[in-house]
Amino acid sequence: MYIRLLFFLLFLASGGIVMAQRVTIEGILVDKATKDPLNAITILLKSVDGKVITYKASDKNGYFALSTERDLNGAYVEINHLGYKKKSFVPTVGAKMQIELEQSVIRLEEVDIKSKPRIQRVGDTLAYDVSSFAKEEDRSIGDVLKRMPGMEVNESGQIKYQGKAISNFYIDGDDLLDDRYAIGSKTIPHKMVQDVQVLNNHEHKKVLKNKRYTDEVALNLVIKDEAKLKLTGQIKLGGGLPKQYDGELNTILFNKKYKLLNVLQGNNVGRDLSGAFTGFNKQTVLSSMGSSPVNNLLGLGTVGAPPVNKDNYFMNNSVALDVNNLINTKGAWQYKSNVQLLVDRNTFDYAGSTTFNTNGEVYGFDEKQHTVIKQWMGAFRFTAAKNQEKNYISNALSLEYQKENGSADIYSNGESIRVAREFTVEGFSNQLEYIPALKNGDIIQVNWFMNYGKKPQTLALSPGIFPDLMNAGLPYEETGQYMEVPSFFSRASVGYRLPNKKVGQYYSAGISVEDQKLNSSIDRFSIGMALPVTLDSSFNDTDWLRTSLFVQGEYEWKTRRFSSRLTLPLSLQQTHYEDSYFALDHTQNRFLFNPVLNAKYVVGVEDELSFSYRRENSFGNIEGVYRGLIIQNYRTLNRNRGGINESRSNDFGLNYKLSKTIQLLFVNIELNYNQSIASAMLSNVVDNDITQTQLVSRENRVNSYRASLGVDKYIFPLASTVKLEVSWTLTDYNQLFNNELLPFQNISYSLTPAVEAKIWESLNLSYRGQLSWSSTRQGQGGNGLGRNAFNMSQSLGLPLSLFKLVHLQTSARHLYSSQQGLERISYVFFDTFARYRHKKWNTDFELSLSNIANVKKFETYTISANMQGQNSYELRGRMAILRAVFNFK
């Protein structure tokens, strides 16, 4: 009996073992946000004491199956994969489970080693520790940004990261300055800032975060806690020789509820204060909505700015006020006001000669010009916004005013001409956005933008010009040109977004209206009386109206590594323009399809490859259709013979970004091709006395190719930042010159190196250079119009700091130019700077000596296709300025 009992127990045990061998745990792994299956992720089955029983990797469909013959009492499944939050759970036997993994940010190890800068990446956010990059000579956050690897700050104050311009400039998460942020980067002391955060794939509207494709880059300044407690600022008083002054008062407060940045400044040392009015993204926004604003058609002369720093030639007397205030309320509303005012008077002196070449003919003219410009500018913007995860609402009102009076004394080809130009700009714009999220997760988007502006302009020239055209060949006292182009633009749209589908979808519809009028007239003045000119086409009264009805579909597809957006816009556009005097009454109807494709593939944790394609149709504006004559400047007449200038373009872009945060290495490679085909071409007719330009109906095809490479690297052993940018461009185009079609090809190469290095403990080296080679060739066997040119600009600085109280800097700038058949040009400018910091008074005393070599004239040569110029510009000369900078807090 005992033997039978023993065999029975062994049978039960063996049966249990057989049953245990049949235990299987199966399931499917998916991404929680996208519901996409997850491939090649390891699933661990662990015992109660944490030891691995078995494991398996999921297949391409996310499926896995774990089989074991072990006891599962207390066992659990564990999934731990890079990029997803760790997940543990008790398995269910006998049923196929669907397991959702939630994405997590990837935090790279923070570099925190003596003499090495600190930088860290958390997901799409890259944070630079400001103190690790700041030098004793730095004053503003903009000074520090210039030496951070991957960052770029140009002369106008625009900031780029890995070659892409930033979309927003935040201060502790608030966009106080909108897109006019240059005043912030130049004013905010770097000692107030803890970190500079780069926000990749940024979405400003919280309700749309992770709900639509974005490749925007934004910047956020993280303010130190101690800097948020009270109002801080500076008072700068400076004076020098010859008769120089430079003053500034700024106040700063950045706390959670209230932010302000107010700056009052004035100078006559060559520092341009109009940068506060520069909106780095405004033009892009307007053009993306279909608006085509009218340019300034009347000019004082024909000369442009010299290729030197503006503070060398800008003879100014300027005062500016910049007031920016922001309030965050408990109800999540944010109110913001931005006010800019400027009063400026500046002079400009120029002399030069210009030669135009054709196959067999050479035309040229000499010119000397003394210009005085007085201007008043004002801008007011008020924004009320609520930015929450469930809804976004914003209304931004902008008012702008500008008045300019300019005069020029011109001596050209043996004749003296007095020119006066006046214009006034008055305009306003308003943008309303409302984006609520519905209970089912879908999103509604409502957008309405409206803009109106007018710009009356007058140009007076004495003695009267073009007497053969204007007065039957007889001399007369004065020519007067009047012109005004009032413009109105409005665009309204409503859309519905379905973000929670496998393929995200957005559908919108709307209407846009653009209305422009061009009124102009030419008068001749004799004995103080205005008389009509003998020319029968001396005035315009043109009306131009464009309306567009559009629908648009956007489709977005996203996986773990790949994301894309396809935009399919359809529009029915009608353009009508008329002028009864010229018997103009034309209507154009177009059905437009302009697809846009953006795609991005994440190659590695920090590397990405992106592709873009855009097809675009543009139709110009009223500037291309008016028929009457307009005097643009003392020697240029303009009119049109063709119709609407329709242009079709295809743009392809490929970009690869490589980042190694711990090694502080950033690489950006970009390839671009653009083809543009226009229905009209600008015709230039030139002789020794007059230049005439007009838009004629003739196909104009332009092909452009561009390749660039940017490398930023921090060299740890040398505590140095090295930056290098290389670019190549090729452009094929045509010019219609003196009724002859001239095909040209331009090829240019550029090399831009920069080095910020520590030589000794207290001595640094700063070097920036720009080298460019350009070649212009005439096609189809043309002779004599080919040109080669080389230009180089270099700056070298040697900052020296002693005891953290004394800072000295000597700097030199070298400009060199070499062009085929012309004399080489070489200039060297020397500057010195000294600062002493009085700790007890919390005051800096500064002495600057600029242009020590006293270079007062700058000569240069310019070549553009069939035009060659030799120009001479008056510079400021030597200056010495002593400043006292009082810091209060």
**Can you spell out the DSSP letters for 490-522?**
EEEEEEEEETTSSEEEEEEEEEEEEEEEEEEEE
- Each residue's pLDDT tens digit, 540-561: 999 999 999 999 999 999 888 8
Rounded CA-CA distance 500/515 in Å is: 40
**Of 222, 249, 239, 259, which is closest to residue 118 (Cα–Cα)?**
222
Sorted by where each starts, the structural domains of the chain and their CATH numbers stand as 2-101 (2.60.40.10), 119-229 (2.170.130.10), 642-767 (no CATH)
Contacts of 411 (CB under 8 A, 6+ apart): 367, 368, 369, 417
CA distances from 505 to 206, 554, 564 (A): 18, 6, 12
My answer on whether omega of the bond before 569 falls inside 30° of 0, hence cis, is no
Does residue 770 register a pLDDT over 60?
Answer: yes
In this predicted structure, what is the pLDDT of residue 403?
Answer: 92
In this predicted structure, what is the pLDDT of residue 868?
Answer: 72
For 331-370, give the secondary structure using H, E and C: CCEEEEEEEEEEEEEEEEEEEEEEEEECCCCEEEEEEEEE
Rounded CA-CA distance 361/821 in Å is: 18
- Each residue's pLDDT tens digit, 812-861: 999 998 877 667 889 999 999 999 998 888 899 999 999 999 999 988 87
* Number of residues assigned to the chain: 889
Residue 285: pLDDT band (50, 70, 90) is low
- Each residue's pLDDT tens digit, 417-446: 999 999 888 889 999 999 999 999 999 999
Contacts of 378 (CB under 8 A, 6+ apart): 339, 340, 341, 342, 400, 401, 402
Is pLDDT larger for residue 158 or for residue 393? 393
Mean pLDDT of all residues in the chain? Answer: 86
CB distance 85 to 104 below 8 Å: yes
Residue 19: pLDDT band (50, 70, 90) is very low
Is pLDDT larger for residue 77 or for residue 262? 262
CB distance 837 to 844 below 8 Å: yes
Could you write out the DSSP letters of every residue in 794-851? EEEEEEEEETTTEEEEEEEEEEEEEETTS--EEEEEEEEEEEEEETTTTEEEEEEEE-
- Each residue's pLDDT tens digit, 217-245: 999 999 998 888 889 999 999 999 999 99
pTM value? Answer: 0.81
Furthest C-alpha separation in the chain: 144
Which stretch of 248-262, 368-382, 500-514, 628-642 has the lowest confidence by average pLDDT? 628-642
- Each residue's pLDDT tens digit, 136-177: 788 899 999 988 888 988 888 889 998 889 999 999 999 999
List own/partner pairs for 38-46 with CB under 8 A and 24 or more apart: 38/62, 38/101, 38/560, 41/79, 41/81, 41/84, 41/101, 42/79, 42/81, 43/77, 43/78, 43/79, 44/77, 44/78, 44/79, 44/80, 45/75, 45/76, 45/77, 45/91, 46/75, 46/76, 46/77, 46/78
**Of 728, 731, 742, 680, which is closest to residue 702 (Cα–Cα)?**
731
What does residue 390 show for φ and ψ, rounded to 5 degrees? -100, -20
Interstrand relation of 691-715 and 636-640 (parallel, antiparallel or unpaired): parallel
Strand order across the 164-165 sheet: 151-153, 159-161, 164-165
Rounded CA-CA distance 183/604 in Å is: 37
Task: HSE, CB side, 13 Å, CA atoms: give it for residue 470.
Answer: 28
In this predicted structure, what is the pLDDT of residue 69?
Answer: 77
CA distances from 283 to 96, 286, 451, 550 (A): 56, 5, 13, 21
Copy the structure tokens of residue 686. Answer: 């030139």
**Of 225, 195, 31, which is closest to residue 122 (Cα–Cα)?**
195
Q: Letter for the amino acid at 438?
A: L
Rounded CA-CA distance 160/183 in Å is: 16
